[in-house]
Amino acid sequence: MLNDALYGKMKFVVQIFLPAFSTLYFTLGTIWGLPAVEQVIGTLAALATFLGVLLGLSSRTYNESDAKFDGVIDIETNEDGGKVYSLVLNTDPTNLDQKESALFKIGG
């Protein structure tokens, strides 16, 4: 699994930079006769595909884990039949105000 910063950078490289650079090299290579245009474009396409697969695997691993949750909401039934909700955080609660949203897993 990749951390958020590395994942964001890799996603930018795979989705924005490599396609844009490939297009630029293809265009300039065709106009100005730059060397090995097909080889460079093929290499960049293979690199983008490889990194895209790594991103997909990382994303799938992250989504199947509990790492995406900020905590758990435990729900217990008391003697009267009422429910008691407890919030168990995975991080320091003082960090919550720095987030735009929080995601909690429902526990039993």
Give the residue extent of every domain in the chain.
4-64, 71-106
Confidence of residue 62 (pLDDT cuts 50, 70, 90): confident
Q: Is residue 35 over pLDDT 90?
A: yes
Check if the beta carbon of residue 48 is closer than 8 Å to that of residue 19: yes
What pLDDT, on a 0 to 100 scale, did the predictor assign at position 1? 66
What pLDDT, on a 0 to 100 scale, did the predictor assign at position 12? 97
What lies within 8 Å, CB to CB, of 1 at 6+ separation is 58, 61, 62, 65, 67
Find the mean pLDDT for residues 47-76.
91
What pLDDT, on a 0 to 100 scale, did the predictor assign at position 108? 64
